[in-house]
Amino acid sequence: MNEIDVPVVRMRRPRWGNPQTPGALPGIAATALEQLGARSSAAVDPGDVSLPDSALPAAAREAIVSVVGAKYVAAEHDARVQHTRGYSTPDILKLRAGDGTDAPDVVASPGDHDEVVGLLRVCSEHRIAVVPFGGGTSVVGGLTPVRDGFAGVIALDLHRLDQLVHLDEVSRTATLQSGMRGPQAEELLHAKGFTLGHFPQSYEGATIGGYAAARSAGQSSAGYGRFDEMVVGLVLATPRGTVELGTAPMSAAGPDLRQLVLGSEGAFGVITSVTVQVRPVPRHRVFEGWRFESFGAGAEALRALAQDGPLPTVLRLSDEAETAVNLADPSGKLGGSTGGCLVVTGYEGAPGEVEARRAAATEVLAAAGGTALGTEVGEAWREGRFRGPYLRDPMLDAGGLVETLETATFWSNLANLKTAVTQSITEALAGQGTPPLVLCHISHVYAAGASLYFTVICAQSGDPLEQWAQAKHAANEAIRSSGATITHHHGVGTDHREAYHAEIGPLAVRAVRAVKDSLDPKGVLNPGVLI
């Protein structure tokens, strides 16, 4: 599947992805959940989710309508439900149980930058909390603001800001509005011969603005970089006016304020457009699989490529547990053998360059003890990479609890971090009578270190929200005590806020808060998120 063949998806809470192609639970997964003690769990229909009455004062609503027009202000039950929280498992569990207490009072959809500024000024004047809303795919509580002290909450939906504003083919940059979905951006850029090369698992539904606000990292980050590395300019709307950043690709004119906005998660303002580096559409690509005896051996091979090259476009290592789940596929496409760890490599570019880089990387992987599994394995992973999140819904239906978390550290600390997090999660859940399966992979590498991405599966307890809260707390403690960062690309939101503050220290927290106070003096932008 090519990325431009992936449709733009309007997800329907509480389920993930394209409603026309829902996920189905493989038989072996259903058996595994039964062995873990899971029992089926029904979800409340979205139409039956209980919502609080809208608290928005009439004068505030009239002021909002005056900015965007009545057509673009919605307070219907469905609109509010579909803008409630994000897509973390706790977010979804609450909606499945019929809990819509965090629903916005109204959904406002501005049509351009000036309307965004106007909305923010109205909300600041009337003390209305504002949740910037792109694809709504946050998995860290990034769409759940504090309501106390505010007259109401609005979701500021950016879907109407969906234009390719400018393409500079000489400089190879594109200016994209923030409400544009990933597949739409790729379709428009491909028509001109270019690509962003940014394909996170949320690609079907996430937006350009969301990529920027949360420092997204796509699955081709080894070749194309993280999204924040692609951004050369941006426009930010705030209650106090407009901030425009990026007059050149690099500058020594003070601190790089673009990096201050990137990762700010809607707490400083609303990103309305970004200018990003683009690259020519690759003319050739090859994906293949490798098998290593252990995670440690595979990690050493990835480190060698990350530090000394050549670096593939995609470079991913699954641990023994994750590999065992993948290799259980009866089709045998993921290797046809048991044991060991799976590495996926992908190469994109001009044909000659791809083959040269692939040949050189093959020498490194083979010398490190890897066994080539062929292109069928790599292509099977590439074809199915966006389907993984679809499995959560049928797992929840079957009574399973499935959630993910991620972190990053230096190579010298990687093994210690993996052990500490795996052990903390296992003990926290086993102690509640629900022993888990903990899977892990590396999908983003750097010369100095790499990310670790964990998937946790177990049976739901009688109170799955408290069950996961204990496990998540234990994992956060393990990450911080191991000296790693609390998040590599999911963001801070509310779930990681305290750990983030501990990570940067009180003086830095004061500096971040001072920036918010300057741009958002009434504190209406995503209150409680980030700081």
Cis-peptide into 255, omega within 30 deg: no
Domain map of the chain by residue range? 164-280, 284-385
| Sheet architecture: strand order including 128-133 | 73-74, 106-108, 152-157, 128-133
Distance of CA 450 to the CA centre of its chain: 17
What 3 state SS string does 156-171 have?
EECCCCCCEEEEECCC
Q: Is 457 exposed, middle or buried (0-12, 13-18, 19+ CB in 10 A)?
A: buried
Instruction: Give the fold, CATH level 3, of 284-385.
Output: Alpha-Beta Plaits (3.30.70)
| pLDDT one digit per residue (tens) for the chain, 531 residues | 577 778 888 889 999 999 999 999 888 788 888 888 888 888 999 999 999 999 899 999 999 999 999 999 999 999 999 999 999 999 999 999 999 999 999 999 999 999 999 999 999 999 999 999 999 999 999 999 999 999 999 999 999 999 999 999 999 999 999 999 999 999 999 999 999 999 999 999 999 999 999 999 999 999 999 999 999 999 999 999 999 999 999 999 999 999 999 999 999 999 999 999 999 999 999 999 999 999 999 999 999 999 999 999 999 999 999 998 875 444 455 544 558 999 999 999 999 999 999 999 999 999 999 999 999 999 999 998 899 999 999 999 999 999 999 999 999 999 999 999 999 999 999 999 999 999 999 999 999 999 999 999 999 999 999 999 999 999 999 999 999 999 999 999 999 999 999 999 999 999 999 999 999 999 999 999 999
Instruction: Give the fold, CATH level 3, of 164-280.
Output: 3.30.465
Residue that has been written with the tokens 């351009």 in this structure: 112
The residues near 379 (Cβ < 8 Å, ≥ 6 apart) are 287
The residues near 183 (Cβ < 8 Å, ≥ 6 apart) are 3, 4, 6, 7, 8, 203, 204
Q: In 10 A of CB 376, how many CB atoms? A: 17
Element at 153 (helix H, strand E): strand 152-157
Same fold, 164-280 and 284-385: no
Q: Which pTM value belongs to this model?
A: 0.96
Residue 416 structure tokens: 């210690």
- Residue 223 CA to residue 241 CA, distance in Å, equals 36
Residue 302 structure tokens: 């990835």
